[in-house]
Amino acid sequence: MKNSQWVQGIDKLLEQLPEEYHHWHLFGNVLSFNFDRYFDCEKKFEEIACITMLLTDKEYKYIIKVQLNDVVGDVHFNIDNGFFTGLQMLDIKKNGYETDRGFIVSSFEMDSELSIECESISVEMLDN
């Protein structure tokens, strides 16, 4: 998380979490996963897809809302267990990739098929 300065709301999230929880892979329990589309009347003038996830640690002590905007990619979870090993988020804009969707979100380990590119990412801590 410390190298995720490009994620909107990360500074406030890091202030709220104890130091030992400053790692994306610790938040592998998916409480909610929502896919939605809305019309972007400000930038693209077309429908864009968004994903909102509520993630928590294995003790259910902290809940983080993760919003992925203008997403493309693949998502597949094994719904029998309801958890995965956490997220990996990469900023690929600095590597010269396209600027529309300059972030990649994937599973920390390959235990779920989660490979998403998105335009922006925002996070916030929710009350438990």
pLDDT per position as a tens digit, 20-36: 999 888 888 888 889 99
* Phi, psi of 113, deg, nearest 5: -90, 90
Give backbone dihedrals phi and psi of 49, rounded to 5 degrees, phi first. -95, 145
In this structure, are residues 120 and 52 in contact, taking their beta carbons and an 8 Å threshold?
Answer: no
User: Residue 9 corresponds to which amino acid?
Assistant: G
Confidence at residue 85, expressed as pLDDT on a 0 to 100 scale: 59
- Torsions phi, psi for 68 (to 5 deg): -110, 120
Section 77-106 average pLDDT: 64
Single-letter amino acid code for the residue at 44: K
Position with higher pLDDT, 17 vs 5: 17
Rounded CA-CA distance 61/11 in Å is 19
Identify the band that residue 11 occupies on the pLDDT scale cut at 50, 70 and 90.
Answer: very high
The values of phi and psi at residue 16, to 5°, are: -80, -25
Q: Taking a C-beta distance cutoff of 8 angstroms, is the pair 99, 70 a contact?
A: no
Structural element, H or E, at residue 91:
strand 87-91
Say if residue 77's pLDDT is above 80. Answer: no
Judge whether 94 and 104 are in contact, CB under 8 Å: no
